[in-house]
Amino acid sequence: MAEKNQDLQTNPVIKNNHRSLGLSVLLIFSMVYNGLLFLIMIAGVVASEIFQDVLQQYFRHLVIPKQAALLFSVLGIFIFGVSIYGLILLWKFRKKGFYFYGPAQAVMLILMLLFLRPFDFVNVSVAVFIIALIGLYSRSMR
């Protein structure tokens, strides 16, 4: 019992333990999306030649060395790992999860706008889902 009280003091729980259906759907979507991208980035480390070829086909006007593809994969593992950790904490109503998920997704959005085609339908819809999730959760934390 004392351990549970200690955990609640170090990891404050959001006051309202009721999550709306829309927020639950956004959380599940984000967990699936970030989980799949996390697995893709792990596969990019394991099979770096294939990952390099995929990146080279996407960025036809650039020459992508193997080290850059490996760095891209490791950076993706870190960003999506932090994001998944934050989502798990958010699912458990822990405020600390918001502070992991928000910055990780902000970095991902900035990198997505810098390196990917920013006006693709998929990229715009993912950005809208991320911004909606951050906005809804920040509103429910008040």
Walk along the chain (142 residues) in steps of 10 and give the mean pLDDT of each run: 56 62 85 93 90 82 84 92 94 89 88 70 78 78 64
* Cα→Cα distances 130→28, 49, 57, 125, Å: 12, 31, 27, 9
49 Cβ partners below 8 Å, 6+ apart?
66
pTM above 0.95, yes or no: no
